[in-house]
Structure 1
Amino acid sequence: MRVHAIRLEGASIDQDTRLRQYIVQQEGQPLGRVQVRKSIQNLFGTGRFADIRAEAEPTADGQVDLVFVTDENFFVGRITVDGIPRRGPSESQLINSTKLDLGELFVQEKLPLAMDYILRVLRDQGFYVATVTADQERHPEVQQVDLKFHIVPHARARVGQVTFQGDAGYTPEQLIAISQLHTGDEVTSGKAQRALERVRKKYSKQERLEADVALLKSEYRPESNRVDYTFSVQRGPSVDLHVEGASLSQRKLKKYVPIYEENAVDDDLLNEGRRNIRDYFQTNGYFDVNVDFKQVPAGADHRHVEYIIEKGERHKLSDLVIDGNKYFSEELIRERMLLQPKGWLLSHGRFSQSMLTRDVQSITELYHANGFQQVNVTTQVQDDYEGERGRMRVSIRIIEGTQTLVSSLKLTGNYAVSESTLRDLLTTTEGQPFSDFNLATDRDSIVNYYFNHGFPDVGFEADSQPANGDATRMNVTYSLREGQPVFVDHVVITGLRYTKPYVVARELEVHDGAPLSQSDMLETQRRLYDLGIFNQVDLAVQNPEGAAREKNVLLQLTEARRWTFNYGIGLEIATGSDPGATNTVQGRTGVSPLFSFDATRINFLGRNHTLIFKSRLGRLQQRGLFIYQAPRFFDSENLKLTFTTFYSDTRDVRTFTAQRLEGSVQLEEKLSKITTLLYRLTYRRVKVDPRTLVLDPTQIPLLSKPVRIGMPSFSYIRDKRDDPLDSHKGTYTTFDIGVAGRFLGSEASFTRFLVQNSTYHAFRKNWVFARSTKVGILAPSRSTDLIPLPERFYAGGSNTLRGFAINQAGPRDPETGFPLGGNAMFVNNFELRTPTIPLPFVENNLSGVIFHDMGNVFDTTGNMWHGLFRSQQPDKEQCKLLTLTATCDLNYVSQAVGGGIRYKTPIGPVRFDLGYNLNPPLFPIRREARSDTLTRFNFFFSIGQTF
C-alpha cells in the first residue's frame, strides 16, 4: 500500500511543517515498517515528545493515511514563589532550591521533590510547620509550563532546650552566654552555626586551637514548636606559639602560621607556616634565613610550638642579570618576574627562593609558548658580590635552544565554514612558532566560533607530527566534526510587569530564525543588565538535550525595585574652606559637616527613563538637584536626553555666597566608544547675597545684582583612558564652548571657552607619568560688559592648583583682599605616580605621588598670554602701596610642588595631598592698611585621582 498523506496530531501547525523533515516515510511511496520506525525515532530524538504512535487509516482508493499521534513534552519556564515570610529566605534562594533549571524537560515526579526542597530551606529558617503547594500554568504554543509555589509559613519555631556535652571548662550557663543561644529565641538560618563560631572564637582567644565544637543534633518538638539543640564541646589543649632568634609580632605570626585560620595543629600546617615565615624574612633582605620548628611537651592541657629562626646577615639584591635571551627583550622578561633589585621603593630588593623558582617557571613557560620546547633556564646566586658584604647578585642564564616552527597546517571536516574564515582565527600558521599553548588557543577560537554560529555539537581534534623526521618542524592537522546547525525558533520573554516589551526587544541580539549563538545570548544578557532595571536576567535554551534543529530561547527577567533612597553624612576638610572665617582673607583649615539625601526612580513609565533627586546640605553648600534621563532618544542607541534643574546656595569662594536657580536640557551623542558630543541649552538665574560680599562697598550693588544667563553650549569629549577612576595609560580631551547672548534673554553677553587635555604614560613596572593642561577664556561681547562673579573662572584646591587653598588663585579685591575670579585661566599639572608600596596593614593598596602644579587665574585673556612667561609676580613693591592709584599685578604663573599618598578602594583611590607654593602672591588689603602673602602650605583630602 502506498501512503496517501502524512499527518501529525498533537503538534501545532508551524511545528507540523518543521517536524516533517524528521519523517523518513514519504507520501506517494509504499508504506514501510523500517521507514515508520526510523521516523518515530527521529521525532523522539527532537526531545519534543513524550509519546508517539503511528496509525494507518485506509482511504477509499486503497491507499492509507499515515498519522503520527503525539503527546508533547513540556519544559520548565518561569518559576515564582509567593507567601515568603518576613526575614525569611529570598525568592532566588527558594527558586534555586527547587533544582529545576529554566528550559529543562519538566517531569511531573520532580514537582513533589521541588516542594520538599523548599520546605527544607524554610525549616532551616525556623518555619517547621510551613506548607507549600504548587500550581502549573501550561503554554502549549511554546511547550512551556510555568510553576507557581505558594507558601503558608505559619509561626517561626523558637529555641528550646540547649545542652552542652563534653570537657568544656565552662558551666552550661557560661556556654549559653558565650554562644548567645537562649531558650525562647527565634530560630533563624545559621543561628546554631553562629553559636558554634562564638564558642570556637572564645577558645581561639585562649589559644585552644584544637578545640572541637560540634552540633550533635537538633530535634524539633511539634507540640511546642521548639527546637532542642545538643552540642559537643571538647576544649582541647592550649597552644603556645613562640619565635626564637628573631622578632616577629603576634599579628604577623598569626598571619603566616595557618594554625589560627584552620583551628588545628599538625605538621603540614606548621611546615606551611615555616615556609611563609622564611619568605617574609627573605623579602625583607634576610636571604639566608633558616626557619625550623619544634613541638615541646608541656603537660596534658598545653602544647608549646617554637619556631627557631636564624636570620643570618641582611642582604641587598643589587644586581639582577639576565643573560642568553635573544628572542625576548630583557624588559619583557623582567615584567613577568617577582624578583626585583634594590631601588627607591625597595631598599633591599625583593628576593626569596620560592620567588626565584616561580620566576624560572614563568620564563620557561614564556619560551615554551613561543616554540622553544628545549629551553633551559638556570640560576646562580652570588653572595658578598665583589667583596661587598651582604651584596647579592642573581644571574639567570637562558639557553633558548632551537625554535620549533609550524611546517604545515591542514584543516579537515569544515563544510559549513570556509577555511579562510577559520585561518583568520588561528594563532598557529605556517612559519610561526609551534607550541601546545597555541594549539589550545586555536581549539578555543574555533570551537567558540562554531558555538556562536549555531553549531553546539562541534568537535575538535589536533594532531602534530614532525615534518620529515625533523623535530623542529611540525605538521599540524585540525580535524573538525561540525554536527548539525541549530536555529532559534522563538524568543520567549517572561517576567515583565512594568517594563514595556519594546524596551527589552530592542536590546535583543537573539532573533527568531537566526543561528543559535552563545555570544549573542551573552551579549543580550549583558545589554539587559546594563539597563539597570533588572535584578536578574536568565537566558536558557529550551529542550537542551533534544536533537531538534530549531529551539526556543527562554528569556526570564526579574525587575528591580523602582525606588531607591540613599542617606549620607560626612565631612569636608581642606585649607581655606572654613565658612565661618568671614573676616579672614585666606580662610583657615575648615571642617564642615555634610548631609545628603538622594531618591532615584528607575524605569519610569516602563520606558527605562530615570528620575533622580539629589540634595546636599553643608556649611559651604546647600543644593537640590532634579534630573530626568531618557536614553535611546529617537530610538537611537547613541542618543541620550537629559533634563536637569537645581537650586543651590553655595559659598563658591570666600568672596561671596551665590544663590543659583538653573535648568538645562542636554542631548548626549555617543559617536564611538571613545568619542562623545554634548549639546546643551542652559538657563540660570544667579543672585549674589550682598551681605556675604567682602568687597569694596562701591562694587556691591553692581556685583550683587541678580543675573539671568541663557547659554547654548557644545562639548566634545574624547576618552581613551584605560580606567577613568585610576588611569595608567591613554588620553582624555575635552573641548567646551558656550555663548551667553541677549538673543536668548541673557542679561550678560559673553562667550565661554574651556579646553582640557590629559595624558597618561606607564613605564617600567607600574610607574605612571600623568599630565593635565586646562585653558579657559571668557570673552565679553562688549568691552564694557561685566562678567558676573559666579560665571568667572576660579582655581585653587585639590583638583586644580594645590599651591593654593580652595579658589584662592587669581585677581583679588584691593580693598578687602578677597578673590574676585577672572576671565582667563591656565592650569598645568604634572604627576609621577608610584607603584603600590607593600606595607603592613594596608598591604598592596598604598601608593605615592609627586606633583608639580603651575598656572593661575587672570583678569583678562591678554594678561594671561603675557603672564604665562612670568615666573615671578611683577612689581611686588607696588602691591605694598596702599594708595588708591597704586596697582598690584597678579598676572603671572604660580608654581607649586608637593607629594601625596593614594589608598586604593573599589570606588577609586582615597588621596591626601600636601602642596608647597614656590611663589605665592603678595596683595594689598587697604581696609586693614596692610599687605599679605598667601600661605605656602596647603593640604587636601578627597576621593579620586586629581585628573
Structure 2
Amino acid sequence: MWLLLSLLLFTFSFSQVIDRITIEGNRYVPEDVITGLLKSRVGSEYSPDLVREDIERLWRTGFFESLEVYKEEKNGRVELIYKVKDLPVIYKIEFVGNKKIKSEDLEKKIGIETEVGKIDVEELTKGFTSSPALEEKLEVQRKLKLGRVLSLEELELIKRRIQQAYFKEGYPNVEVSYEIVPKKGASKVVYYIKEGEPEYVSSITFIGNKAFRSGRLLDLMETKPPSLIAFRFKPPYSEEVLKEDIKKIEDFYRSEGFLEAKVSYSVKAEGPKRNITIKIEEGPRYKLKSLKVEGNNYFSYSEIVQNILKKNKGNFYRSEVIDKIIQNAKDLYSSIGFLNVEVSKDEKVDPREKVVEVTLKVNEGEPVYVDQIHIKGNYETRDYVVRRELRFQEGELANQGEIERSKTRIFNLGYYQDVSIEPVPKERNKWDFDVRLIERFTGQFSIGLGYNQVTKLSGFVSVRKGNFLGTGDIAGISVSYGSYYKDNSLSYTKKWFLNKPIDLTGSLYDRRIDYTTYTVERTGLDFIFSREFAEYWKAYVGTSVQRVRYSNISPNASPVIQQEAGTRQSRKLLFGIQRDTRDNYLMPTKGALTTLDYSVAVPVLGGNERFNKVVLSHQQFIKDSIFDTGLILALRGTVGFVEPYGSNKTVPLDERFFVGGDFTIRGYKYGYAGPLDPNTNDPVGSTKELILSAELNYPLYKNVLYGAIFYDTGLGANNLKDFKLQNFRSGFGAGIRFITPFAPIKLDLAFKTKKVPGDTSRSKIHFVLGFFF
C-alpha cells in the first residue's frame, strides 16, 4: 500500500522548482536505482502529475511493500521525500519435501538458478506481457548488486511452475507453499512441497481410428501407456498433458484432410491407475481439387511444385504437402537473394463436394543485400576467425545457400556448441545479419577413457587448447595409456597461415599397440601442409619421420610377424586430396566425404623402407526426403593398394591392410577378413583391400541418440584374382549411436556370414568410445 500525503493538499503550483529529492527506508534497492526510475529531477519544475506517475512507476516494479511521498516547501523551492519499504534481497532458493523430482531437476524444469546472482530474470518473466512496467522491473534487477529482489508476483510464478512440473510427472494433488527466511541481512525462499499420491497411465485405447493405426497416433502424444521394451512401468498421468495430446491428434487429422474430425477422451480411475479411452470421429477425407500459384515471375509452376504433388498418394488434401511446396518456393527465391519473399495460402473448402482448392500467392519482393554482419557470443574467438569462414560479405547479395554453407563451416571448426545466422531486416532491401555463437570449452584439462577392438580400454590425460588464444589455432599435449595401448603426443596446428586457407600441422608422438602375438612401437615427427583450393576441396602434402620397433613377438607367431623383429627407420612423403560436402562432421545427414591418400616410403636420411600406398575412400550420406522419416542412409566404399619397390620384396606389416573389425567389416575380429597364417591362424595383413558398407540410422531422440542397422562386405587379399564374390567376408547387424558432449559412442551387435579359422564365433559386439571412423 502507498500513501500520497501533502500532494493531495497542493494540487496546483506556480513554477515551483524541485530543490532536493530524498530516499528514506530503502534497505535493499539502491538509491540510484530508485531515483533513476523517477522522471522528477532536481532543478526541474515541480508537477503533481509527474510525481503521481513516478509513484505508479515505482509501485509497478513490485519491489516495494509500501511507498509514501512527502512534499516540503521553503522559499518557493520544493523537497520531495520518498519513504519506502522495499522487499528483501533473495540470496538463495531451497526446496523441501521433493522426493520424486530432485532439486537440480526442479531447477531446470522451472527455468531458474537457485544461487545468489544466477537467477535468470528474463526466464522468470516468461509469460508476462511485454510492457514498460516489465522493462522497469528488469532494469532494477540488472542493477542490483547483491542477490535479487523477487516480487510476490515472481514468487507465485515459481510456485506455479513447480506445480506444473509435478503435474507432468503424474502428481496432480501436489501442494506447494513458501516462506521467506531472513538470514545474515539477506533472505532465502524455501518452497515446501507435499507431493501427494501419484497417478499413472494403465492403458490407452483408441476407438474409431481407421485411417491411422493406434501406434501412429501414440507417436503424437506425450502421454504414453506402460511398455516393458521402453522401460515405462508406471508412466505419469496428467490431464493437462492429455488435453494437449488430444489437440495434437485433432490437428493431425485436420492436417491430413479430415477437416471435420473430432477427438474426445474419457478416463476411468482404478485407484492410482488411469485407463484412457480416446474416441475419434474421423469424418470424410477431403481431396485436393486444385493447386494454383500466382505472382511467380522468376520461377515456373513446375519448379515451385516440382514432384511434391506426385508423392501425395490419393490426392488427398494434406497441409504438410502444401507447406513443403511453400517452403520449396521460399528456398528457391532465397537462393537468388529474395529473402523477403512472402507466400500466402488461400484455401476454399467445399463441404458438399469434400474438396479443397488452394491458391498460393507469391509476393516476390526484391533482392536483399547484406549491410552489416555482427558476430555475437564469441567471448574467446576473435572476429576474424569467424569472418574468414563466411561465404557472404557486406555489400553482396544475400544468398541463402551461402548463408547455410557459412553456418556449416563455422560449426565444423569444432569450437562451438551451436551456430545460427539470423537476418535483421532494416531497410527494404538492405539487411544486417547476426552470427550467434555458443562457444565450447576448447581449452581444457581432461581425463577419460577410450575403447575399440584394437586398443581395448585405455585411459588418457589431455591438455588441449582448441582455438588457441582465440586465433583458431589448435595446440595440444596428451598422454594415453592402457593395457594394450600407449599414445603420447605433442601437436600444434597453425590455421590460416599467411592469412590464406592454409593449415600447418606439426606433431611429435610416441605410440605403442600390443597385439596378441607382438608389440609395435612408433616414435616420430609428422609435418603436414594443407590448403583449401576450392569451396569443398582441400589438398595436403607432408612428411613423416619414424622409428618403428617390433618386440615381444610370441614364439608361436606367424613367420611373417617374426621377420619384422627389430627396429627400422621409416621416411615417408605424404600426399592427399579431399572433398567434403557433409553438413555435420559428427553425425552427417547429407553430403559426402571423398579422400585420396598417397604415401611413399623413400630410402633417404637413414630410411630403409620402400613402398607405395594408395587409399581411396568415399562416404555418402542421404536423408530421406520422400517420406520425411528422418532416416539417414550412409554408404561407404574403400579401396587400397600397397606395393614394395626397388630391392624391397615385402611391405612392412604395420603398413598392410587389416580388414575386419570395428572400422572395416563388423562381425569379424581385427584383421580376420583378410589373409591368415595357415599354421597359426594369425592375421598377417594384405596388400589390397576392398570394403563396402551400408548403414541406416534413425534418430531415436533429437540429434543425440540414433538406432542403426548395417551391412558390411569386402576382403583383404594379396592378389586381384582373389576378389571374387564367393570369397568376400560380410557382416550385418544393429546398433546405437550416442552423441555426447564429450565423445561419440557406438555399440553394434554384428553377425558374420562366413566363419573363418581363428574367428569361429557367430556374432561379435563392437564397442567404440571416442570416434567412429
TM class by shorter chain equals 0.5 to 0.7
> What is the CA–CA distance in structure 1 between the aligned matches of 2:635 and 2:737, rounded to whole Å?
20
Contact 1:259 1:269 in 2 (8 A): no
Shift of 1:96: 8.5
Give secondary structure in 1 for the equivalent of 2:520: strand
Shift of 1:275: 9.1
* Equivalent position of 2:523 in the other structure: 661
Q: What is the alpha-carbon root mean square deviation over aligned residues?
A: 6.5
> What is the CA–CA distance in structure 1 between the aligned matches of 2:436 and 2:412, rounded to whole Å?
16
Q: Deviations over 1:362-399 (max 9, x none)?
A: xx4xxx4xxx33xxxxxxxxxxxxxxxxxxxxxxxxxx
Would you say 1:853 and 2:713 are equivalent positions? yes
* Equivalent position of 1:611 in the other structure: 475
* Equivalent position of 1:703 in the other structure: 564
Q: Deviations over 1:131-164 (max 9, x none)?
A: xxxxxxxxxxxxxxxxxxxxxxxxxxxxxxxxxx
Equivalences for 1:633-644 in 2 at 5 Å?
633-637=497-501, 639-644=502-507
> What is the CA–CA distance in structure 2 between the aligned matches of 1:745 and 1:817, rounded to whole Å?
34
Q: Deviations over 1:504-552 (max 9, x none)?
A: 554567766668999988887776666555789899999x88x899999
* Equivalent position of 1:140 in the other structure: none
Equivalences for 1:11-90 in 2 at 5 Å?
88=115
Shift of 1:647: 1.2
Contact 2:512 2:521 in 1 (8 A): yes
> What is the CA–CA distance in structure 2 between the aligned matches of 1:460 and 1:916, rounded to whole Å?
53
Shift of 1:845: 5.4
**Partner AA of 2:736 in structure 1:** Y
> What is the CA–CA distance in structure 2 between the aligned matches of 1:529 and 1:770, rounded to whole Å?
21
Q: Deviations over 1:66-97 (max 9, x none)?
A: xxxxxxxxxxxxxxxxxx99985788957989
> What is the CA–CA distance in structure 1 between the aligned matches of 2:622 and 2:346, rounded to whole Å?
44
Give secondary structure in 1 for the equivalent of 2:720: helix
* Equivalent position of 1:621 in the other structure: 485
Shift of 1:568: 1.5
Distance 1:742 1:119, change over 3 A: same
Shift of 1:646: 1.8
* Equivalent position of 2:669 in the other structure: 805
Contact 2:600 2:612 in 1 (8 A): yes
Distance 1:291 1:257, change over 3 A: farther
Shift of 1:410: 6.1
Q: Deviations over 1:651-693 (max 9, x none)?
A: 2x42310110122122334455654433232221111125557
Distance 1:496 1:775, change over 3 A: closer
Contact 1:659 1:688 in 2 (8 A): yes
> What is the CA–CA distance in structure 1 between the aligned matches of 2:565 and 2:140, rounded to whole Å?
74
Give secondary structure in 2 for the equivalent of 1:905: strand
Distance 1:773 1:449, change over 3 A: closer
* Equivalent position of 1:427 in the other structure: 304
Equivalences for 1:111-126 in 2 at 5 Å?
114-118=138-142, 123=147
* Equivalent position of 1:865 in the other structure: 720
Contact 1:657 1:692 in 2 (8 A): no
**Partner AA of 2:760 in structure 1:** T
Would you say 1:903 and 2:767 are equivalent positions? no
Give secondary structure in 2 for the equivalent of 1:706: strand
Q: Which runs of 5+ in 2 are unaligned?
A: 1-90, 93-112, 127-131, 207-214, 216-223, 254-263, 311-316, 349-354
**Partner AA of 2:226 in structure 1:** R
Q: Which structure has the larger Rg over C-alpha atoms?
A: 1
Distance 1:667 1:194, change over 3 A: same
Equivalences for 1:180-195 in 2 at 5 Å?
none
> What is the CA–CA distance in structure 2 between the aligned matches of 1:645 and 1:734, rounded to whole Å?
24
> What is the CA–CA distance in structure 2 between the aligned matches of 1:768 and 1:706, rounded to whole Å?
46
Q: Report percent identity of matched pairs.
A: 15
Q: Deviations over 1:297-350 (max 9, x none)?
A: xxxxx68855689xxxxxxxxxxxxxxxxxxxxxxxxxxxxxxxxxxxxxxxxx
Question: Which range moves more in the overlay, 743-752 or 617-626?
Answer: 743-752
Contact 2:200 2:235 in 1 (8 A): no
The structure 2 residue matched to 1:565, chosen from 445, 462, 470, is: 445
Q: Deviations over 1:721-746 (max 9, x none)?
A: 78777778877654322211113542
Contact 2:477 2:490 in 1 (8 A): yes
The structure 2 residue matched to 1:826, chosen from 680, 689, 710, is: 689
* Equivalent position of 2:748 in the other structure: 912
* Equivalent position of 1:218 in the other structure: 179
> What is the CA–CA distance in structure 2 between the aligned matches of 1:788 and 1:758, rounded to whole Å?
28
Would you say 1:688 and 2:547 are equivalent positions? no
Q: Deviations over 1:898-917 (max 9, x none)?
A: 43112243367834233346
Contact 2:657 2:689 in 1 (8 A): no
Shift of 1:794: 2.3
Give secondary structure in 2 for the equivalent of 1:251: coil
Distance 1:737 1:90, change over 3 A: farther
Shift of 1:239: 6.0
* Equivalent position of 1:746 in the other structure: 607
* Equivalent position of 2:496 in the other structure: 632
Equivalences for 1:284-303 in 2 at 5 Å?
294=268
**Partner AA of 1:920 in structure 2:** V
Equivalences for 1:439-838 in 2 at 5 Å?
444=330, 488=371, 502-503=384-385, 506-507=388-389, 531=413, 563-569=443-449, 572=452, 592-637=456-501, 639-651=502-514, 653-672=515-534, 675-690=537-552, 694-695=556-557, 703-718=564-579, 733-743=594-604, 745-756=606-617, 774-802=638-666, 804-808=668-672, 810=674, 818-822=682-686, 824-829=687-692, 831=694
Equivalences for 1:144-293 in 2 at 5 Å?
209-215=171-177, 217-221=178-182, 225-227=186-188, 229=190, 231=192, 235=196, 251-252=226-227, 261=236, 263-264=238-239
Give secondary structure in 2 for the equivalent of 1:116: helix
How many residues are paired up?
Answer: 601
Shift of 1:569: 2.8
Taking structure 1 as the reference length, what is the TM-score of the superposition?
0.48
**Partner AA of 1:214 in structure 2:** V
**Partner AA of 2:141 in structure 1:** Y
> What is the CA–CA distance in structure 2 between the aligned matches of 1:495 and 1:558, rounded to whole Å?
6
Contact 2:697 2:706 in 1 (8 A): no
Q: Which runs of 5+ in 1 are unaligned?
A: 1-83, 100-106, 129-187, 280-289, 297-301, 310-351, 374-403, 412-418, 466-470, 580-591, 859-863, 872-892, 922-932
Shift of 1:226: 3.8
> What is the CA–CA distance in structure 1 between the aligned matches of 2:731 and 2:246, rounded to whole Å?
44
Give secondary structure in 1 for the equivalent of 2:663: coil
